[in-house]
Structure 1
Amino acid sequence: MIYGYARVSTKEQNLDTQLEKLKSYKCDSIIEEKHTGSTMKRPQLEALLQELKAGDKLIITRVDRLGRNTKQLLELVEELAEREVILFIIELGMEVTNRNGKLFLTILSALAENERELLAEKRTAGLKNAKEKGIKLGRKGKSNKLVEHAIELWLLNDKTIKQIEQATGVSKSILYREIQKRDLKREEAGEGK
């Protein structure tokens, strides 16, 4: 049997391009997965690997669809070769379970791993640089004026939390967090408390 395996790293990405390529190779079955490559948990791939038998062919579009690091990928290629399962990578246009294929795969996989590490280093350096320049990173918080206004309304004790939320746009979680942080108390517990 001919199996295709398509994987993307995030739920937002789609598999369309991979699926199109795999269909052109007349796969009997195409397994789809949306999991990050850095996590070892890829249940669809694990199930597929259990199902593969000698003489079966596994087709993937690119080297990095099976593993994120060279060691992980080469162990999988070795396992498939021992089980007499043919691994074909469309990007390379070749089977990689033979000796020359494994050599080429090792080189490509190492380059891909190096590229990921370089990107991670650049991202870390960029974040550090932004922090040193005083650039605030992360989600933008509600304006201090809006939070202050929401607290004033809460202290007046004549509006419910829902009414305060609607009037100011400050969520109840932000409001409660600020109340707790400032250790504020109302004179009487109103219906908004």
Structure 2
Amino acid sequence: MIYGYARVSTTGQDLAQQLAQLEAAGCTKIYREKISGALTERPQLRRTIAALDPGDVLIVTATDRLARNTRDLLNILHAVKEAGAGFRSIAEPMVDTTSQFAEVIIAVLGIAASWERARITERTAAGRTQAKARGVKFGRKTALTPHQQAEALRKLDAGDTQRTVAALFNVSQATISRLSKP
């Protein structure tokens, strides 16, 4: 059986063009989804993959309709392969796991995913360094202002319990406990 998967990310987009291409490619069952490809939780995609049997083929109009990045695409292709099915993209004919070059294609995509991951890590690190240089603080905001922290420590030094001080400032006892540690 030949399955199709069509996805648009916003309600303003229309599936009609994708559906026409998938029907022209011979798809007998088409799963439709209106959800961002950036999300990994896509119910219709999950149903599509679950429906695949050995020998079936999953066709998409373009790989960007299926996945937003190479790593996600590789995960999906792995699930399709595990089902014993093949995968084809209409817009990218070289992405065809039903051909004799399937392993080569998957290997190249794996290398691309690795490279893409390294580039993302580099860009993230550079952005973090630039943000720190601008004085951006990372992590969760503190529950107490510096003035409240000093006041809480004074109360602890005066003999109040951590639980009492925590209740006074409407924070957890653990927050107060962290203040009193050197």
- What aligned pairs does 1:28-47 form with structure 2 within 5 A after superposition? 28-47=28-47
Query: For residues 20-59 of structure 1, what are the alpha-carbon distances to aligned partners after superposition, in whole Å with 9 as ceiling and x for unaligned?
Result: 1111111111111110111222111111111111111100
Give the letter for the 1:88 counterpart.
R
Tell me, what secondary structure is at the counterpart of 1:22?
helix
TM-score (norm 1): 0.52
Q: Which runs of 4+ in 1 moved over 3 A?
A: 103-111
Aligned length: 115
1:105 offset after TM fit, Å?
A: 4.1
Which residue matches 1:102?
106
Going from structure 1 to structure 2, the CA distance change for 1:71 and 1:29 (only over 3 Å counts) comes to: same
Contact 1:96 1:105 in 2 (8 A): no
| Separation (CA, whole Å) in 1 of partners of 2:48 and 2:72 | 16
Change in Cα spacing, 1:57 to 1:77, as seen in structure 2 (3 Å) is: same
Partner residue of 1:75?
Answer: 75
> What is aligned with 2:154?
none
8 Å CA contact 2:49–2:83 kept in 1: the answer is: no
Partner of 1:55: 55
- Give the drift of 1:91: 1.0
Secondary structure of the 2:19 match is helix
AA aligned to 1:7 is: R
Counterpart code for 1:101 = I
* Cα distance, 1:83 vs structure 2: 2.4
1: CA distance, partners of 2:114 / 2:22: 24
**Consecutive unaligned residues in structure 2, runs of 5 or more:** 121-182
Inter-partner Cα distance in structure 1 for 2:35 and 2:87: 21
Superposition RMSD in Å: 2.5
Deviation at 1:109?
A: 7.0
Given that 2:6 and 2:60 are in contact with CA atoms closer than 8 Å, whether structure 1 keeps it comes out as: yes
The structure-2 alpha-carbon separation of the partners of 1:89 and 1:104, relative to structure 1 and needing over 3 Å to count, comes to farther
Partner of 2:4: 4
C-alpha separation between the residues in 2 aligned to 1:37 and 1:43? Answer: 12
What secondary structure is seen at the aligned counterpart in 2 of 1:101?
A: helix
Displacement of 1:18: 1.0
C-alpha separation in 2, matches of 1:89 and 1:52: 16
1:89 matches 2:124: no
Q: Aligned AA for 2:55?
A: G
Give the distance between the partners of 1:70 and 1:93, measured in 2 at CA.
Answer: 16
